[in-house]
Amino acid sequence: MNKTSVKERRAYERHDTRIDIQGTADESGAVARMVASNLSLGGLYCTSTTDFPEMTRLAVRLMLPVSQAKPEPVDVEAVVVRREKKNGSNGDARYDLALYFPNLSERARGQIERYLS
């Protein structure tokens, strides 16, 4: 089977982007700074210096650069659905995380849609 015959399973189109995000796990309360490399209405892919195991629920704040003056914060719930440990350029551990948005509010959905369009 070649790649062109494989059907994409994603419900929402991914958009390449580079935005700062913050994630907080319910149990620890520690805030992790992360950088997203793509975003959709279904979730995002990011790099973090903090490890979050799969199925961890996170409170995520997206800092959407809608204007040059000030990024617009958007708060969403996310679940880690995939993680991969990598080594950073300085030898520190980094984690590539795929996050899924299980329950986007109408407000958050609208803010993300506006940013992606």
Question: Over the stretch 36-85, which tens digit does the pLDDT of each residue have?
Answer: 999 999 999 999 989 999 999 999 999 998 766 788 899 999 999 999 99
Residue 11 to residue 14: CA distance in whole angstroms: 9
Superfamily of domain 12-116: predicted glycosyltransferase like domains (2.40.10.220)
Residue 74 to residue 63: CA distance in whole angstroms: 6
Q: Please, which residues have CB within 8 angstroms of residue 53's CB and are 6 or more apart in sequence?
A: 80, 83
Name the percent of the chain lying above pLDDT 70: 87
